[in-house]
Amino acid sequence: MKVLYMLGFLPPYVNREIDALSAAGVDVSVVLPEKSKGNRPADFWSEISPNPASGSVEVQRVLKFKYLTSPARYLVLPLLRALRFTKALIRSLKEKEFRYFIVASDAVLRMNPSGRPDIIHAHFALDSAHVARIAAYILNVPYTVTTHATDIFVPKSVNRLRRVLSSAAAVFTISRYNIDFLVNYGLSREDMVVVRLGLNISELPEKKQPPQKNLAVCVASGLVPKKGIPVLMEAAAILNRRSAGCKLKVIGSDADGTRLKEYRNKDYEFPVEFPGALSSEETLDAVSNAELFVLPCVQAENGDRDGIPVALMEAMGMGVPCISTRISGIPELIQSGVNGVLVNPDSAEELADAIEKMLADSESASRMGLEGRKKITVSHSPEKQVHILFSTFSRILTERKQN
């Protein structure tokens, strides 16, 4: 079986998935955007995410996403080269996806001809998935897509999202909550499969013993509204008035540092540190040294929300006691009172109560930390999730052959 991953970027959890598939004997190749000179998210991820560990995984940077926004005159030559794909061109014009066709056809022509896939897979129902859909049509192979959070909660185009999902041979998603949500787009539950993000706890540092007293760490990627940082600051103020002695470290930064600067310039009556964006190693080390991890996720005004945050999974995988909120797929990860604590989103009072109680009862917190580690080990191993992927890929290809 040859599987082609068509990706806009390569985050660590997708990297682990690819390596696990390759280790299972699947012939995997990866197509990524070409390097650009701008400060693009793809370039950021390429700097912090290594290529798949398996030497058998071929990585080609042939996706020219610049065609999605470049002036029309730059599309003439790629269009002339793509005229051989007449049916795909006509379809893309009807669907108003001409620029995606240009990117897809150019990538197909530049890919290694010996690496023709049996199936194409994309992560996130974003640009790479739309390109994957057209590339699959050109190559006459099925495609699948894994949906996550922002890509389905705040799509750029609802019609385009419906199209890329309804045309897929299968839609994978990271939670049962997402399946319930995607039914609203007309998808059948039978066509969707839950595949959790995989995590190797052997790659995580061990929880420090003893941890730094009263230190609560929050990892808030991008410092975006859905991470609930204002709620956390309000909860910290409540704890300060109670003389609870909680110290906060909030790791993360937006791309240009505007939000980070705003948070740093505020006057706080309680101890809080905003170190900005740290490397993966530095972040994990900070979390492993914390007495507890807190991520008070909320639903942003535009409807965006987290799926199941990787930072939360990593903290649980290290055995650090965790506090989060009852939103989206998080209750599928944390059973409140068993392997962590959940509070209602946007409730600073509940959050303060949970932090205070966890800091005061180290024995209960430690027990929940151990149960959290067990949850990640049992439910989120890359091998277990890849088995689901492989089984679904095999079913799709078998049915295609029979039909």
Judged on CB neighbours under 10 Å (0-12, 13-18, 19+), 260 is buried
pLDDT at 186: 87
Verify that 191 and 282 share a domain, yes or no: no
Q: Give the 3-state secondary structure of residue 324.
A: strand
Residue-wise pLDDT tens digits, 178-220: 999 999 888 999 889 999 999 999 999 989 988 889 999 999 9
Verify that 262 and 391 share a domain, yes or no: no
Q: What Å distances lie between residue 78 and 30, 70, 107, 192, CA to CA?
A: 22, 12, 10, 35
Inter-residue contact 101 to 92 (CB < 8 Å): yes
Q: What does the pLDDT average to over 252-268?
A: 94
DSSP codes of every residue in 248-306: EEEE---TTSHHHHHHHHS--SS-EEEEES--HHHHHHHHHT-SEEE------TTS---
Q: Residue 241: pLDDT above 60?
A: yes
Residue type, 216: A
pLDDT at 195: 96
Percentage with pLDDT > 70 across the chain: 95
Q: Residue 42: pLDDT above 60?
A: no
- Which two structure tokens, joined as six digits, stand for 236? 């910290």
Verify that 237 and 248 share a domain, yes or no: yes
Verify that 16 and 104 share a domain, yes or no: yes
Q: pLDDT grade, residue 57 (50/70/90)?
A: confident
pTM of the model: 0.91
Q: Residue 88: pLDDT above 50?
A: yes
The whole domain housing 229 covers 201-379
Q: Residue 48: pLDDT above 50?
A: no
Verify that 288 and 355 share a domain, yes or no: yes
CA distance 290 to 286: 7
Query: What rounded mean pLDDT belongs to the chain?
Result: 92
Q: How many domains does the chain have?
A: 2
Q: Residue 52: pLDDT above 80?
A: no
Verify that 22 and 161 share a domain, yes or no: yes
Q: Residue 238: pLDDT above 80?
A: yes
Residue-wise pLDDT tens digits, 279-336: 989 999 999 999 999 999 999 999 999 999 999 999 999 999 999 999 999 999 999 9
pLDDT at 185: 87
Residue type, 104: A
pLDDT at 210: 84
Closest alpha carbon to 348 in 215, 235, 233, 204: 235
Verify that 138 and 227 share a domain, yes or no: no
Q: Residue 40: pLDDT above 70?
A: no
* Residue written as token pair 């068993």: 338
Inter-residue contact 278 to 284 (CB < 8 Å): no
Q: pLDDT grade, residue 39 (50/70/90)?
A: very low
Verify that 107 and 222 share a domain, yes or no: no
Verify that 101 and 211 share a domain, yes or no: no
Verify that 115 and 182 share a domain, yes or no: yes
Verify that 387 and 375 share a domain, yes or no: no
**In this predicted structure, which of 21-25, 138-142, 326-330 has the lowest mean pLDDT?**
21-25
Verify that 207 and 331 share a domain, yes or no: yes
CATH of the domain at 37: 3.40.50.2000
